[in-house]
Chains A and B, each alone.
Chain A
Amino acid sequence: MQNTKTQDTLVGLFVVIGIAAICFMAFKISNLSSFSKQNVYTITARFENSGGLKIKSPVSIAGVRIGRVSKISVDKDSYESIVEMYINSQYKLPDDTTASIFTAGLLGEQYVSLEPGGSEEVINPNGVIDITQSAIVLEEMIGQFLFKDPVDN
């Protein structure tokens, strides 16, 4: 058996390195630091069709990620898709912001892109974005292209 002091030191070192590894996973591998629940607020947007949008899909302005989708549900009356998203609270959005669903690349994941307008008023927490543009469904576009009325051309 080794000297007890060396053993103590090695065990202490082992535990410290283990905990450091967990912290490394938390902050370097995942994104614990960037979106904690405290400094976000929720806004809602209604889309005719939210396409392949998923929970945790990115929400971005000018290509910069400022939040993520938190909940997607269907309106019982109008059958619209209701998309709730968390926005980092350091970003204030004007109330005439438009929301559109785009696809990153041809086959990439879908994301919500916000286009701020020129209004002075900002959207409050739990506010609603009124102007939206639905996801582009590739099959529909191909269908339109293929079966377009030849007389139009």
Chain B
Amino acid sequence: MIYFIQKIGNRTISFFSKFGRSAIFLIQMLIACVAVIFRPKLLLTQLYSVGVLSFMIITISGLFVGMVLALQGYYILSDFGADETLGLMVASSLVRELGPVVSALLFAGRAGSALTAEIGLMKATEQLSGMEMMAIDPIDRIIAPRFLAGFISMPLLAALFSSIGVIGGQLVGVVILGVDEGSYWSQMQSNLDFYDDIVNGIIKSIVFGFAISWIALFEGYDTLPTSEGVSRATTRTVVNSAFVILGLDFILTALMFGDI
């Protein structure tokens, strides 16, 4: 019994101390971001590995998600004779929800896990302590450029996902199913608002980019320096990112679109 209570206490303390460490890590990281401005080369390399290499998975998934939305939406909407609103349905679901959320989930799997594994391995092979010995702050040099790269790439990737998805929907809806092209675009344009829909979607993706980069880098930085520790940290990155993305998405949606 005592053992059981001890275990609960232990879990609670380690949870909160981890939370505290992550908050301190975030502050250090944000301060270090200022230093990155003087080293744009580092940021560029990270933008390549975080952003450019995620380009393919995002565009291809975006295309297929848009195509499936158009296909499914068409069957339901055509029952009501409302198949001209197909464009509106595809675009609003992509721009508001699916674009930011699905691309963030893919991004966490593609780039977040890679960041954690990279930093975790650097820690396990004592590269980070080696840098500290040389009076180079690893947060300045290693962490901050990766954080900024994730923060910048995420909204761009989400915008790409939504745009490609709308084009994919047009491909299926207009070319294959025969919805009128003019009404596909005009319904979409007249009912979606730039500030309410597009900007809110972009804000969502910025928040997700922030959260994913933070989680991925912290898990890597905080990992046990063993091969098992790195593998667990990588798993935790993907799982926690997915939770945080979906949870934050609900909160943001409630704040932006709901009347709660």
User: A residues within 8 Å of B by Cβ?
Assistant: 7-8, 10-11, 13-15, 17-19, 21-22, 24-26, 28-32, 34, 56, 58, 65
Cross-interface CB contact of A26 among B51, B190, B194, cutoff 8 Å: B194
Chain B: number of interface residues, binned into ranges: 20 to 34
Question: B26-47: contact bitstring with A at CB < 8 Å (1 yes, 0 no)?
Answer: 0000000000000000001101
Q: Is the interface of B mostly helix, strand, loop or mixed?
A: helix
Residues on A with beta carbons closer than 8 Å to the beta carbon of B157: 18
Residues on B with beta carbons closer than 8 Å to the beta carbon of A31: 189-190, 192-194
User: B residues within 8 Å of A by Cβ?
Assistant: 44-45, 47-48, 51-52, 55, 91, 95, 153, 155-157, 159-160, 162-164, 166, 185, 188-190, 192-194, 197-198, 201-202
Q: Indicate whether A29 sits within 8 Å of B198 (C-beta atoms), given known contacts A18-B157, A18-B160, A21-B162.
A: yes
Output the nearest chain A residue to B159 by Cβ-Cβ distance. A21
Residues on A with beta carbons closer than 8 Å to the beta carbon of B197: 30
Residues on B with beta carbons closer than 8 Å to the beta carbon of A7: 44-45, 48
Residues on A with beta carbons closer than 8 Å to the beta carbon of B189: 28-31, 34
Residues on B with beta carbons closer than 8 Å to the beta carbon of A25: 95, 159, 162-163, 198, 201
5 chain-A/chain-B pairs, Cβ below 8 angstroms: A14-B52, A25-B95, A30-B189, A31-B189, A32-B198
A58 to B160, CA, bound (A): 30
